[in-house]
Structure 1
Amino acid sequence: MAISSLMMAISSLMMAISSLMMAIYSLMMAISSLVMAIPSLMIAISSLMLAISSLMMAIPSLMMAIPSLMMAISS
């Protein structure tokens, strides 16, 4: 009886170890995915910044273009 209990305990321990290994592997995968996502995030942020600055530069040009357009229409 004691031997079978010991065997069951050992098999449970083996299963626990394999589950732990799987958890560690999953964690490593998650970390690596996160690390790979960071450059993409940086690129997205810089693209957004560029878009905002382009928009800021476009607004004054648009403001200057509207009166010229109005004058062209009225003349």
Structure 2
Amino acid sequence: MSTSDADETGPDLVLDCRDLRCPMPVIELAKHVGDVEVGATVAVLAHDPAARVDIPAWCRMRGHEALGEAVGPDGVPAHRVRRLH
């Protein structure tokens, strides 16, 4: 699956972390990234501005691919991650 495929079909899993503050969006991602197959994508919906930095940093440390930020439902930032292992 390429990045464009993920953009066209949407994420395989959406984590609604809108009301959670740092570090909870990253903790939820860490808990649930294994719920999807390798190559699948996860979107973390989070209002917390720290998620913009924390999620890509977590991906670098854990060997997953940060696909960037998109606008999710209701204008909520959706931080997209591809599981690589």
TM range (shorter): under 0.3
Richer in helix (by share): 1
Which fold has the larger relative contact order, with Cα–Cα distance below 8 Å and residues 6 or more apart in sequence?
A: 2
Query: 1 or 2, which has the higher strand percentage?
Result: 2
Greater Rg over alpha carbons, structure: 1
Under a length normalisation based on structure 1, what TM-score does the superposition of the two structures give? 0.21
